[in-house]
Structure 1
Amino acid sequence: MSEGEQEEHDHFSVVYNLIMAAWGSQAVRAIAALSVAEHLDSGPLSAQDIAQRELSDPDMTHRVMRAGVALGLLTYDADRGTFSPTPLLEVLHENSPTSLKYYAQAAIGPAFWLPAVLLPETVAAGSNHTVQALGSNVFEYLGKNPAEAQMFSAAMAELSAPVIREAASVIAVGTARTVLDVGGAHGAFVSELVQRNPQLAGSVLELPHVATTVEDQARQRGLEARITGIAGDFFDAVPAADIYLLKHVLHDWDDASCRSILSNIRSSMRPGARLFVVEMLVTGKGASLGAALMDMAMLFATTGQERDISQFNTLLTASGLRLTQSVPIRSPYYVMEAEAL
């Protein structure tokens, strides 16, 4: 094979593997769903062993785990017929501090996988085809499917955990006494900030079916006396606070919706109140792979997008807010601080 033919072959292989990565991600999802990482805590096991524990088909379980070997998650001892974990598999273990077990199942589950199939049609039309794929938008779909909604919430908690730790470490609360997590799910972010700052009392503004879980989660952290859930809709009104947190929210929505959320925060701000927005940023050098792929999810599943700092600045200014600083944390995330104009 000539040098030119070899290069052509290499390019073909790279693009082929990019295409087939879709099937690889579903294999990862299946390995997470089968709790392979947890089962291998006790030592090497055969696919038959795991199939018996999970009540799955032995042959198909073997084939999925064989794919896991090719993906670098597992090793296989052909003499013994057993599989062992690699360090990568630890990330799919529910007890790992960097676990993505539930994110692996939710991010490419029906709520996002089905709209993703219609990405070419979305780009052609200039609007997503989520309603055609799911019968409603993503958030309404999750509201009608509690099991998927629970998985999605767990997935978001996993994805956010390392970002939350870093974001909380760069937020100076000063003399603030109250903090409100706007659209903060079960309250992981506000809990981290409250734990670090004993003078703070926290609350989470969420839709009613989510808000009821906030205090249960706070109780598990021993913070039930300091954190409450508030049932509401950030498009209607936002309660007053000294500090507002807005993490992974604006990227879900179009500019007009973002201005509505931010304007409601601005309207409720006490004198000296501050807003901290945590999002991925597209920088002047372009989008990182993580931000670019998340932007594709926003493109086919929501009306939102990943934005650069100038776009956030425009949204804030139009909502009566001023960007005061932007601090990089875990790439590609930033903590953006804003105050009233």
Structure 2
Amino acid sequence: MLTGFQLSQAIFAIAELDVATVLLSGPRQVDELAADVDADADTLGRIVRYLAQHGIFRTSGSTVELTDLGRTLADGPADSLRAVARYFHQTHYAPFGSLLDTARTGEPAATTFFGKPFFDWVNENPTMADLQNDAMAGFTQNARGDPLQILDLPQGRTVADIGGADGTLLVELLAERPERRGIVFDLPSTVSAAGPTLQAAKLEGRVEVVAGDFFEEVPTADIYVMSAILHDWNNASSLRILRNVAKAAPENARVILFEMVVPEGDAPHPTKMIDITMMGMLGGRERSETEWRRLLAEGGFTLQRVVTGSGSYSALEAILV
């Protein structure tokens, strides 16, 4: 465990060099691979050897090939996490060196490291904002599993994806529901990426792209969807968002949260790792079902059901009180 930082950095290096994408076409000699990715052959070979014991590569002499796990570090596969690895390398790794300060003060390590709240730092850099969009789309799609397929969407014509970034989730929700219309709502620097996504899905005529700040106000809709949004924020900030939704929502409006639910007990679960990520980067948190129910009630909604599928995320459906 103490040397986990070395494993992280080795994976980050492979992701930045785009080694796995090169190997999608088949095995390569280390020297040839190093030339293709502009790396030192001896050093790359030693990193590959180290990662092979973790199941990312297979080696035979000086020949390197990808495993199924290694393919997730390549661009192209549906389960690619390359953008996530590059994002964590550039955003999360260094701030976590200040986690001891977080433990002492409660202040997010990223705020200490960057000198400002993390999202403020990201949104000052369009390239970083784009990388965040790519990383979060890939991460949530892969971790979410199948709640979208097994969840019956409530009645209502207009679906608003609050914090919808590039519109990926809304495309999934509306693709097979031609009677519905949608709204992608996010900060101007983030939601600008939604246009190409909607055009590619031929949904631009049914979806309105709206820029704004959910701490100020949100548009009116029948169904509000938020995917991995409230876990970014502490309870006070989450309540501001929920109350703004309640203020804009018509009678009987629904909220569907795609979030993780922390189970009871000490058994391993992804939520317990991601909770530490939220603590260190944003001051947010993962919540148990009891905590979600309480938060929604304080925000003006009654939790009606929790739908759990094949992935790490659940769909929490609540109705406006």
Q: 1:274 aligns with which of 240, 244, 254?
A: 254
Shift of 1:53: 1.8
Segment drifting more, 164-173 vs 234-243: 164-173
Aligned to 1:252: 232
Deviations 1:79-115 (A, max 9, x none): xx211111211222222121111112212x2321122
Q: Is 2:86 the counterpart of 1:95?
A: no
Aligned to 2:189: 209
Code of the residue aligned with 1:32 in structure 2: it is A
> What pairs up with 1:86-235 in 2 under 5 angstroms?
86-107=67-88, 109-163=89-143, 166-235=146-215
CA 1:175 to 1:311, structure 2 compared with 1: closer, same or farther past 3 Å?
closer
Shift of 1:127: 2.2
Shift of 1:59: 2.5
Q: Is 2:7 the counterpart of 1:24?
A: yes
State TM-score, norm by structure 2: 0.95
Gap runs ≥5 in structure 1: 1-17
Q: Is 2:64 the counterpart of 1:83?
A: yes
Structure with larger RCO (C-alpha < 8 A, sep 6+): 2
Segment drifting more, 54-63 vs 241-250: 54-63
Shift of 1:164: 5.2
Code of the residue aligned with 1:24 in structure 2: it is L
Aligned to 1:15: none
Aligned to 2:21: 38
Shift of 1:183: 0.4
Shift of 1:147: 2.6
State TM-score, norm by structure 1: 0.89
Deviations 1:216-258 (A, max 9, x none): 1111122221223210000000101011001101111010000
Q: Is 2:264 the counterpart of 1:284?
A: yes
Code of the residue aligned with 1:251 in structure 2: it is H
Code of the residue aligned with 1:301 in structure 2: it is M
Q: Secondary structure at the match of 1:147?
A: helix
CA 1:47 to 1:135, structure 2 compared with 1: closer, same or farther past 3 Å?
farther
Code of the residue aligned with 1:191 in structure 2: it is V
Asked which structure has the greater CA Rg, the reply is 1
CA 1:162 to 1:87, structure 2 compared with 1: closer, same or farther past 3 Å?
closer
Q: Secondary structure at the match of 1:113?
A: coil
Q: When the two structures are aligned, how many residues end up with a matched partner? A: 321
Q: Distance in 2 between matches of 1:330 and 1:261?
A: 28
